[in-house]
Amino acid sequence: MAQGLQELLYNPKVFTPNNKPLLDKGQWSVVQIFLNDARRLPTSEQQFPDARAIPVFNAVRTASNFFEVNTLRRANLLGNQLYNYGINAGATFRGVVQLMDQPSPNKDALRQLFGSIRDTASSCGLEASAVEGAVKDFGSELDRQGRSLKGVVDQELTDSGGLKARIEQIQNDIKLQDAAITAAQAAITADKRVINDTVYYSWIPLIGTIVAVSLIIAREQDIQAQLTRINEAVGKKRTDNTNLEPLNKRLGQLTYCQTFNGNQISQMAAMGPILATLRSAWSTMAGNLGNILDNINQADANRLKDMDVLAPVNLTTAADEWGDVARDAHSYMMNFYAKPVEEMPKAA
């Protein structure tokens, strides 16, 4: 029992695993970036062309708003609880020492002090558990909506005549127009070469001149025909590119939708073990303190000194270590919130 109490009261290592703060604002900053993105999800077909996706977006936005208003605030308060415990650790330690140092420790006072510590730890554990559950619920809702969105996206992308097929068709037509332009340019080059070569006919009286003129006329007509083909191909390419632009934009939107929820589900899942560790730390502390209270209640007042609940310890060092935890928690609180972004304006 003595060792357990000493660890509970004086050892904050459980809140700084691997010498790093258990509560890290960076983890929640990533979540807030997602919440900002969720706030800006399309709200109408003018913003996103597939009407089937709009109810999914609305559900994600509603869940995100609820999470931001309720859970995000509570997540910030987890730091406040740890800060308050850490900053008051020195006074708590001195109170325990003073009570146990008396020739006949006051049983009621000990019960009150340990009960207060136990209640604080229990309350902190319950709050950490509530945040842990809310994070899990939010991740489950994102997963549920993500599956619905994936169905919409997959159907839109891969169905016969779907978006990918239309984009591929236009891209193939652009390649055909490029090939037509290249062929026409090659034909023009060949025509100009023939025209230049007609000089070899000019030395033949009359016949050479007639042949040369005929060739030049034919080749010049072909050049004009090839230029017409080039202009037609360029016009078709321009039309194709104009038609392709909104399709590519839509493809980008759908591709983003494929990863939008998936990334966030992974981030929320990664936070689960952290919150579980925090909950477990407080719950273990509350449970052990409850055991100590039971021992105090059952012990004879004259034998409380024999409980030896306080092994020799450097109170200054203990208070300093908890002070470091408190400072980390304070930094977590002060820098917790990321700068929000404006909602996407609704279509008129």
Q: What are the tens digits of pLDDT across the range 198-218?
A: 655 555 555 556 666 677 788
93 & 62 share domain: yes
pLDDT above 70: percentage of residues in the chain: 80
User: Using H for helix, E for strand and C for coil, what is the string for the chain?
Assistant: CHHHHHHHHHCCHHHCHHHCCCCCHHHHHHHHHHHHHHHCCCCCCCCCCCHHHHHHHHHHHHHHHHHHHHHHHHHHHHHHHHHHHHHCHHHHHHHHHHHHCCCCCCHHHHHHHHHHHHHHHHHHHHHHHHHHHHHHHHHHHHHHHHHHHHHHHHHHHHCCCCHHHHHHHHHHHHHHHHHHHHHHHHHHHHHHHHHHHHHHHCCCCCHHHHHHHHHHHHHHHHHHHHHHHHHHHHHHHHHHHHHHHHHHHHHHHHHHHHHHHHHHHHHHHHHHHHHHHHHHHHHHHHHHHHHHHHHHHHCCHHHHHHHCCCCCCCHHHHHHHHHHHHHHHHHHHHCCCCCCCCCCCCCC
pLDDT of residue 2: 42
Token readout for 249 is 């934009």
Residue 343 covered by a domain: no
C-alpha 105/C-alpha 309 separation (Å) is 12
Do the beta carbons of residue 331 and residue 25 sit within 8 Å? yes
Question: Is 51 buried (19+), middle (13-18) or exposed (0-12) by CB count in 10 A?
Answer: exposed
User: What range does the domain containing 236 cover?
Assistant: 164-244
Per the model's pLDDT, the better-predicted residue between 344 and 299 turns out to be 299
pLDDT of residue 205: 55
- Answer yes or no: is pLDDT of 128 > 90: yes
273 & 302 share domain: yes
73 & 140 share domain: yes
Q: Which of 13-27, 118-132, 262-276 has the highest mean pLDDT?
A: 118-132
At 224-248, the pLDDT tens digits run 998 999 999 999 999 999 898 888 8
C-alpha 249/C-alpha 265 separation (Å) is 25
135 & 271 share domain: yes
35 & 156 share domain: yes
28 & 131 share domain: yes
189 & 313 share domain: no
Per the model's pLDDT, the better-predicted residue between 348 and 168 turns out to be 168
C-alpha 244/C-alpha 253 separation (Å) is 14
pLDDT of residue 198: 65
173 & 153 share domain: no
Give the end of a domain, one of 244, 276, 311: 244
